[in-house]
Amino acid sequence: MSDKSNYSTEPQDIKAFAAMIRKIATEIYERTVPNCVKRRRNADKRKLCDADIISLVIIGELLGMDSERCWFGFAKRNLGEVFGLFCDRTRYNRTKRALIHITGDIQRYLLERLPTARVGIIDSCPLPVCEFGRAHFHKSYKGYGAAYGCCVSKKETYYGYKMHLVIDENGLPVAFELTGANIDDRAVAEELSIQAGLELLLGDKGYVGTKLSNTTLIALDRNNAKHPKTRELRQLIFKKRRRIETTISQLTDTLHLQKVRARSFWGLCANIRLKILAFLTAVYINCLNGAENILAIKQLIFY
């Protein structure tokens, strides 16, 4: 666990909360990022270093600020005591997107220090990039796999992407993949299982008939199944699968995953990674605090 001698993990106001996130992010950044990145050309002349930019993104996501312009303006006016000088918003945005691979290293660092399990749950959620009526005129994502798809839970057609997610049974996101909205869930199950590296995956009816090379996948039966599973096994799968529904709900409601404001596909990918990083950071802080429910990220922020 992290050394807490230099900062508190029980913030009393937004400045203390920002200082806490900055301390933790800087500590993890120094431990995970290679020197070739940290000491790149003109790195010492930047007003906001990489760790500060990552910290600002995490704070904004956890506070539910889905507009980058609004959040950066608010932080510049109110968090100068914590971060010092601020760079231009355009440079902030460019650097944030350029750090997409670094955020992956930080995510792995956090997952290694959180209580994980060997059983996972797999599912997907829709990511509409615009209102359905504007889909025909929308140009930002054309040529990048955006397509029309159906959201079964809402019984509606949308235009955009589908995020395929694997969490462990404790609720921690361990792998994700972004595809067009028209791609079947089973098409990316193999790749996700390799990324996740779990022994067993549980899925809903959409994964019936999926065979994986290195992982066992058990899916809920369809209504017309010839050899249905036992009642006890069905109840166990159904109970375990509630965890991924809760995690997706936290990502969509608290971190605004489905509010796509990125103007490019790569910006969208960076935003998804950063939202997952913010989620894991909140869980990590709850773990440091000895919280009874480490996944209760709202209690950390809106106490």
139-175 pLDDT, tens digit per residue, is 888 888 899 999 887 888 999 999 999 999 899 999 9
* Domain contains 99: no
In whole angstroms, give the CA distance from residue 40 to residue 42.
Answer: 6
User: What tens digit of pLDDT does each residue of 173-202 get?
Assistant: 999 999 999 999 999 999 999 999 888 999
* Domain contains 209: yes
- The predicted pLDDT at position 303 comes to 53
Over residues 11-28, the mean pLDDT reads 86
- The predicted pLDDT at position 4 comes to 53
Over residues 74-95, the mean pLDDT reads 90
In whole angstroms, give the CA distance from residue 240 to residue 44.
Answer: 48
- The predicted pLDDT at position 152 comes to 82
* Domain contains 181: yes
- The predicted pLDDT at position 12 comes to 58
Inform me whether the pLDDT recorded for 204 exceeds 60: yes
User: What tens digit of pLDDT does each residue of 244-274 get?
Assistant: 999 999 999 889 998 888 888 888 888 899 9
User: For residue 84, with 0-12 CB atoms within 10 Å meaning exposed, 13-18 middle and 19 or more buried, which class applies?
Assistant: exposed
* Domain contains 193: yes
Query: Mean of the per-residue pLDDT values for the chain?
Result: 86
Could you tell me the pLDDT band of residue 19, with boundaries at 50, 70 and 90?
Answer: very high
- The predicted pLDDT at position 163 comes to 95
* Domain contains 104: no
C-beta separation of 174 from 116 below 8 A: yes
Domain that includes residue 221, residue range: 119-262
Inform me whether the pLDDT recorded for 1 exceeds 60: no
Percentage of residues in the chain with pLDDT exceeding 90?
40
Inform me whether the pLDDT recorded for 231 exceeds 90: no
* Domain contains 208: yes
* Domain contains 236: yes
C-beta separation of 62 from 302 below 8 A: no
* Domain contains 130: yes
Give the total number of structural domains in the chain: 1
